[in-house]
Amino acid sequence: MATNYQNNPAVGNFIEYLRIPSVQPNIDYGRCVEFLRKQATEIGLSIKIYEVVKTKPIVVLTWLGQDISLPSVLLNSHMDVVPVFENSWTYPPFSGHIDKEGKIFARGSQDMKCVGIQYLEAIRRLKESGVNLKRTLHISFVPDEEIGGHDGMEKFVLTEDFKKLNVGFALDEGMANPTEDFIIFNGERSIWQTHVHCTGQPGHGSLLIHNTAGEKLRYIIDKFMDLREQQKKILESDSKLTIGDVTTVNLTQIYGGVQSNVIPEKLTVVFDIRLAVTVDHTQFENMIKRWCSEAGDGVTFEFEQKNPNVECTKLDATNPFWMAFKSAADEMKLKLDCRIFPGGTDSRYIRRVGIPALGFSPMNNTPVLLHDHDEFLKADIFLKGIDIYVKLITAVANV
């Protein structure tokens, strides 16, 4: 079975891309660019490389539509992948090994080199069958999504070059799903990484000094962890809710102090917070301010990351791209499960500049292995995803 897949040109392209170790940090994107140039030539697409930040290329392949005045469709994916713990993998993580069940093992097989290749293979098929689409398609391959996209999509959407692409709608990554449903994401929670600094009276560790940093730290931790508990209860009380529907709070770091018998003058606690799309940002920040003032004097907070509130993409008749996507999915009898994305993707930057975007990776009946050891995608699921994109891309590009 695996040998049949090995001879499949689409699978071959996928494996070639997976074998490029574009792993964080310090990536040389040169091999990805070279690979994409070759694809553009073979398929007959124009290619442009933008460098908003040096050594971090943004590669855009373009297929002009019949009416170039219409807003275009952007098909986005990222070239980078997260680090690996090689000893915990059954096969080398950049080998693209196919086992006898047709599972393709590699870092990036789910997140998200599969989608980038599926876009290209779907377009190759459309061009070969002589199809012409109404709208222009731009297929973007961006850097650094796995470390926040700050030198990739976040900066790119603010450039004149991006504005010239005249994007009216975008598709980006989704997630695998172990059931037969296909998950689609129309919004993302806002990431607020918050550092709370507690200062207080220092002294000898044998005394009971008043107004210590530790007492204030305890108050702050209790407040945040009580909120976490409350959100856990909300999630557990309704089986229809998913993690993207609630605010998550996690204590990720505590630091400070000089040695074990000295009461420190400062302790800091860090929380990773993902705000549900229903949360009022001003009210939430005011609540943190209130907690800090209740904890005592000398308690302050700052944000390592603070995403603004971004409107979700509409899933109704006001969004013609959604209507086209949905009707193509219905025609293929795909069961869609619409959700808010639990983490962060480049879609948030696209939505932030007012462009509707959907997160979708056609990987049903597949365990969620993004960032995990032994990440794999079955070849038949990968190939079926190309069929799905042929229909979806045609539908949204002909709106």
Taking alpha carbons only, the member of 139, 146, 136 closest to residue 122 is: 139
Considering the four listed CATH numbers 3.90.25.10, 2.30.40.10, 3.30.70.360, 3.40.50.720, the one that applies to the domain covering 190-276+278-306 is 3.30.70.360
pLDDT in tens, the chain (399 residues): 456 888 999 999 999 999 999 999 999 999 999 999 999 999 999 999 999 999 999 999 999 999 999 999 999 999 999 999 999 999 999 999 999 999 999 999 999 999 999 999 999 999 999 999 999 999 999 999 999 999 999 999 999 999 999 999 999 999 999 999 999 999 999 999 999 999 999 999 999 999 999 999 999 999 999 999 999 999 999 999 999 999 999 999 999 999 999 999 999 999 999 999 999 999 999 999 999 999 999 999 999 999 999 999 999 999 999 999 999 999 999 999 999 999 899 999 999 999 999 999 999 999 999 999 999 999 999 999 999 999 999 999 999
Are 262 and 162 in contact by the 8 Å Cβ rule? The answer is no
pLDDT score of 343: 87
Strand partners, 357: 170
pLDDT score of 1: 47
Are 166 and 363 in contact by the 8 Å Cβ rule? The answer is no
Count other C-beta atoms under 10 Å from residue 80's C-beta: 25
Strand partners, 250: 272
pLDDT score of 3: 60
Please list, in sequence order, all residues whose beta carbon lies within 8 angstroms of the beta carbon of residue 166, skipping any fewer than 6 positions away: 71, 72, 136
User: What gap in Å lies between CA 393 and CA 398, rounded to an integer?
Assistant: 8
Q: What are phi and psi of 209, to 5 degrees?
A: -75, 145
Q: What are phi and psi of 111, to 5 degrees?
A: -125, 95
Tokens of 350: 């696209």
The CATH H-level (homologous superfamily) assignment of domain 2-188+312-397 is Zn peptidases (3.40.630.10)
Q: Are strands 182-188 and 376-378 parallel, antiparallel or unpaired?
A: unpaired
Tokens of 197: 């600094």
Q: Would you name the residues annotated as active-site residues?
A: 80, 145
The residue assigned the tokens 């002009």 is 64
Element (DSSP H or E) covering residue 340: strand 336-341
10 Å CB burial of residue 381 (0-12, 13-18, 19+) is: buried
Cα atoms in the Cβ-side hemisphere of radius 13 Å centred on 394: 19
pLDDT score of 380: 97
Sign of CA dihedral 71, 322, 395, 155: positive
Count other C-beta atoms under 10 Å from residue 310's C-beta: 20
User: What gap in Å lies between CA 111 and CA 78, rounded to an integer?
Assistant: 9
Domains of the chain by residue range? 2-188+312-397, 190-276+278-306
Are 343 and 250 in contact by the 8 Å Cβ rule? The answer is no
Residue 314, Cα to own-chain centre: how many angstroms?
A: 19
Strand partners, 236: none
The residue assigned the tokens 């990431």 is 191
